[in-house]
Structure 1
Amino acid sequence: MKPLVLSFALMTASPLVVNAAPIAIINARIETAGPLGSIRQGTLVMDKGRIVAVGSGVTVPADAQIIDAKGKVVTPGLILASTSLGISEIEQVPSTRDDGAGGQIGAAFNPAAGVDPDAPSIGLARLNGSTRAFLTPVAGRGGNGAHAHDDSAFQTAGGHEEEDPTLFAGQSIGISLAAGAPDMVFKSNAGMVLEFGETAAAAAGGSRGASLIILKQVLADVRHFIANRAAYDRGEGRELLARRLDLEALIPVVQGKTPLLVRVSSANDIRQILKLAREEKLLVVLEGAEEGWRVAKDIAAQNIPVMIDAQAALPSSFETLGTHLGNAAALNAAGVKVSIMGSRDYNNLRQSRMNAGTAVAHGLPYQAALASITLNPAKIWGVDKDLGSLEPGKIADVVVWTGDPMEGQSYPSAVYIGGVSQALTSRSTELATRYKPRADGSARPAYRN
């Protein structure tokens, strides 16, 4: 059978194409983010939702649809490491926010039921090359410490309200950004989110020391609950600080089976968390870590990964006085696994790749920057067996870019999620088409005088 060659114009015009035949992307610069590294001119073949082959000497199947990507760059789909995508739309409108439970539930909160597949921001995320996202709840709903358009992902973790749960914000989940997916959640209970530093101090009455005591007591309560569940059910035994729902949710954390994502900024607070991780034998991930460069060797020594906003350049609080743009490079040089986040300003979803580019400009090696928005988030959340790099056998989340994805003027020419071509449209592009004047300059009928 003669191979079918598709143009990018044809590919991007159709809304959603389920490909019966294999697809071969040829003549591309392939950035695998995996063991194969960078391939100057290569071919990637995908079939039945998986990557079949990738390399410079790949044989193209006879029945394959061929995509000629000459002059373009192919990467894995970007993975948003920590976001409220799909569970929060307008920060200052509470009715549009399902990213926090307020004071009703703490560690037990799971945001899965609030994921809106029709959220306009999801199409926008695909337009920017994102194929998967991990949703991480926030402890507050934006009060004292949050800003409507704050570019710092950590800062928009929200301020404390009197009725908020103590420290724990809830569980992280992973979602696919594929259009028309019957269930977007592909990984539930991926980890637990904990607020620390100034936010935790506020929750504990104003003291970091008090917040640490409360945290240790909750962890001790969970272990007591595991060992004395029958007595607890009979109403016997000592009083526990946490509610039953939270105790149940925290069991995998204290058993070291799921990671504890800790939002923390200052070097001293990071040291406290590192000590806690050693004592309690926890799998810890740091988010924020604006002063992480100051304790980079300590973080690396415990093999703890870090999620950062590489654009954070100026202190926004006392706990971020040591913020600077070389944070990612310093952490990476020390041997820390770095994942670069975008913004929780939900309409600004280019920021993960833009922030990665900023980190490159301030000393982070290019391949490390690429891994920080692809493979490293997959490793942190335990899905790297299937996602995060272009390797045979992995799920075919693939993006074809017009140029370097870390350059602001580049954009996706094609996006595949699970081997399925995604329409490169969003509510913004649909509105632009709707209101765009006709070729002769005349207005659409509904907008004529």
Structure 2
Amino acid sequence: MSKMLIKNGTLYTMGEKGIVEKGDILIEDGIIKEIGENIEIEEGDVFDVSGAFVMPGMIDAHCHVGLSEEGISKSVDDSNEMNDPVTPQLRVIDGINPLDMGFRDAYQNGITTLGIAPGSANIVAGQFAVMKTFGNRVDYMAIDEKNGIKVSLGENPISVYGKSGKTPATRMAVAAILRETLLKAEEYMDLKSRALDEDRDEPSFDMKYEAMLDVIDGSIPLRIHVHRSDDIFTAIRIAREFNLDIVLEHCTEGHFIADQLAEEGYPVVLGPGLTDKSKYELRNLSFKTPAELVKRGIKVAIMTDAPEVPIKYLPICAGLAVKEGLDEYEALKCITINPAEILRVDDRVGSLEVGKEADIAVFSGNPIRDIYSKNILTMINGVIVHIMAQKEEVQDEQADKQ
């Protein structure tokens, strides 16, 4: 049994224990076993981080790391399959390069879990995955290989297909194609069910509609790319029609309709905020949106959409939301426990609690308040993957243990 003890840090647990001054964390075999004060062990590694800021590994709930790789030509971008507007059968797990430098940038800056999405060129783009940020094989890094189906409304699918003289060329067509896909998936599920009940042949296998069954029965959500308020309401309208579980991704104009969003109760993944207003949909982009939604009780995560915003700037995005009125502790929740809950992996990550995986980030200061704070140590599954001193040697040693 391997043991490790982190001692004397200021623990922002983001869980039931709240903030623990001069706290200790005992880790056994990659799992948090105890959180408290004055914990002692007879054997194992002890890291005294006196005065340091200790928090759960940060989580970016929406990015394209490993698909839209950094430092390479856009011609080999694997995030969008732009030959068919409906591709729910695509799995991002099959396109992710774990050696993309974005993963390294993430764990070297205290970010330990990512929600990785296909791009937004298609109306129905494919399957989300949730990944740890350290490793060299996606099968071992994955927490959840099918965490939802990505859907896009608004400008992106229109600009990809409409400009080529194909459907969709309007928002009406985008919504119609999404409805048609959902209706056909419902019909496919009904035919499979009736075949089982009546002991007859099932319908011919259709990989697209097979992939949609988990959405239709409510097992996983549609994660819907929406920026404008009218597109947000279209997403909600369709969710009601089909009794779907959804997450609103981007939600740029959410501050305009915050009261109505609070009534609807859907979670929101906001961002990227630290970018230019590169298209019409983004003209109302503001870091004030997180505060407006959070104060109305909406569950909010802040994301980078990396590489749109470099993944390492996730805490800076949270800090800029604080600058515009978001409570600081709530901002920390937006990059830890909230995205864990939205991604439905909060039983494993997102807070420092007994029984959870030891994904821990140690900083010289509060990373959302102090732009000069440094990542002293990052741990994933109880393995140190980054440490300020001798970091290359530590990474090589720990990689052998994965």
| CA shift digits 1:370-405 (9 cap, x unpaired) | 111111111111110111000000000011111111
| CA shift digits 1:82-128 (9 cap, x unpaired) | 11112221487255322223326711100212222222222121111
Question: What CA distance in whole angstroms lies between the structure 2 residues aligned with 1:255 and 1:138?
Answer: 24
Matched residue, 1:171: 127
* SS in structure 2 of the partner of residue 123 of structure 1: helix
Question: What CA distance in whole angstroms lies between the structure 2 residues aligned with 1:234 and 1:73?
Answer: 57
Q: Which moved more, 1:305-314 or 1:291-300?
A: 305-314
CA contact (8 A) 1:134 1:175 kept: yes
Aligned residue type for 2:145? S
CA contact (8 A) 1:310 1:359 kept: no
Question: What CA distance in whole angstroms lies between the structure 2 residues aligned with 1:208 and 1:346?
Answer: 24
Task: Report the CA distance between 1:424 and its aligned residue.
Answer: 4.5
Residues 1:248 and 2:204 aligned together: no
Task: Report the CA distance between 1:298 and its aligned residue.
Answer: 1.9
Aligned residue type for 1:84? H
Residues 1:83 and 2:63 aligned together: yes
Task: Report the CA distance between 1:310 and its aligned residue.
Answer: 6.1
Identify unmatched segments of 5+ residues in structure 1: 1-19, 141-164, 236-242, 431-449
Matched residue, 1:25: 6
Question: What CA distance in whole angstroms lies between the structure 1 residues aligned with 2:201 and 2:278?
Answer: 44
Question: What CA distance in whole angstroms lies between the structure 1 residues aligned with 2:176 and 2:27?
Answer: 52
Aligned residue type for 1:50? I
Matched residue, 1:308: 270
Residues 1:288 and 2:269 aligned together: no
Matched residue, 2:188: 225
Matched residue, 2:398: none
Q: 1:59 to 1:92 in 2, by over 3 A?
A: closer
Q: 1:88 to 1:232 in 2, by over 3 A?
A: farther
Matched residue, 2:104: 123
CA contact (8 A) 1:313 1:324 kept: no
Question: What CA distance in whole angstroms lies between the structure 2 residues aligned with 1:169 and 1:387?
Answer: 27
Q: 1:71 to 1:228 in 2, by over 3 A?
A: same
Q: 1:380 to 1:301 in 2, by over 3 A?
A: same
CA contact (8 A) 2:259 2:296 kept: yes
Q: Provide the alpha-carbon RMSD of the alignment.
A: 2.4
Aligned residue type for 1:176? K
* SS in structure 1 of the partner of residue 131 of structure 2: strand
Residues 1:299 and 2:256 aligned together: no
Matched residue, 1:433: none
Q: 1:381 to 1:343 in 2, by over 3 A?
A: closer
Residues 1:39 and 2:20 aligned together: yes
Matched residue, 2:154: 197
Task: Report the CA distance between 1:313 and its aligned residue.
Answer: 7.8
Task: Report the CA distance between 1:369 and its aligned residue.
Answer: 0.8
Q: 1:70 to 1:369 in 2, by over 3 A?
A: same
Matched residue, 2:328: 366
Q: 1:419 to 1:312 in 2, by over 3 A?
A: closer
CA contact (8 A) 1:312 1:323 kept: no
Aligned residue type for 1:287? E
Matched residue, 1:445: none
Task: Report the CA distance between 1:232 and its aligned residue.
Answer: 9.1
Task: Report the CA distance between 1:63 and its aligned residue.
Answer: 2.2
Matched residue, 1:354: 316
Q: 1:319 to 1:91 in 2, by over 3 A?
A: farther
Q: 1:232 to 1:63 in 2, by over 3 A?
A: same
Q: What TM-score do you get using the length of structure 1 for normalisation?
A: 0.78
Matched residue, 1:62: 42
Task: Report the CA distance between 1:266 and its aligned residue.
Answer: 1.1
CA contact (8 A) 1:341 1:351 kept: no
Q: Which moved more, 1:67-76 or 1:179-188?
A: 179-188
Matched residue, 1:404: 366
* SS in structure 1 of the partner of residue 146 of structure 2: strand
Task: Report the CA distance between 1:72 and its aligned residue.
Answer: 0.7
* SS in structure 2 of the partner of residue 62 of structure 1: coil
Q: 1:232 to 1:79 in 2, by over 3 A?
A: farther
Residues 1:345 and 2:307 aligned together: yes
Task: Report the CA distance between 1:234 and its aligned residue.
Answer: 5.8
Residues 1:265 and 2:245 aligned together: no
Aligned residue type for 1:280? F
Question: What CA distance in whole angstroms lies between the structure 1 residues aligned with 2:276 and 2:289?
Answer: 12
Q: 1:275 to 1:90 in 2, by over 3 A?
A: same
Identify unmatched segments of 5+ residues in structure 2: 162-166, 393-402
Residues 1:98 and 2:78 aligned together: yes
Question: What CA distance in whole angstroms lies between the structure 2 residues aligned with 1:91 and 1:254?
Answer: 38
Give the fraction of aligned pairs with identical amino acids, expressed as a percent.
28
Matched residue, 1:146: none
Q: 1:91 to 1:192 in 2, by over 3 A?
A: farther
Task: Report the CA distance between 1:172 and its aligned residue.
Answer: 0.3
Q: What TM-score do you get using the length of structure 2 for normalisation?
A: 0.86
CA contact (8 A) 1:310 1:356 kept: no
* SS in structure 2 of the partner of residue 351 of structure 1: helix
Aligned residue type for 2:133? L
* SS in structure 2 of the partner of residue 42 of structure 1: strand
Matched residue, 2:164: none
| CA shift digits 1:147-191 (9 cap, x unpaired) | xxxxxxxxxxxxxxxxxx5x1111001112223567222211111
CA contact (8 A) 1:310 1:358 kept: no
Aligned residue type for 2:384? S
Q: Which moved more, 1:407-416 or 1:222-231?
A: 222-231
Question: What CA distance in whole angstroms lies between the structure 2 residues aligned with 1:276 and 1:91?
Answer: 38
Aligned residue type for 2:152? E
Aligned residue type for 2:142? V
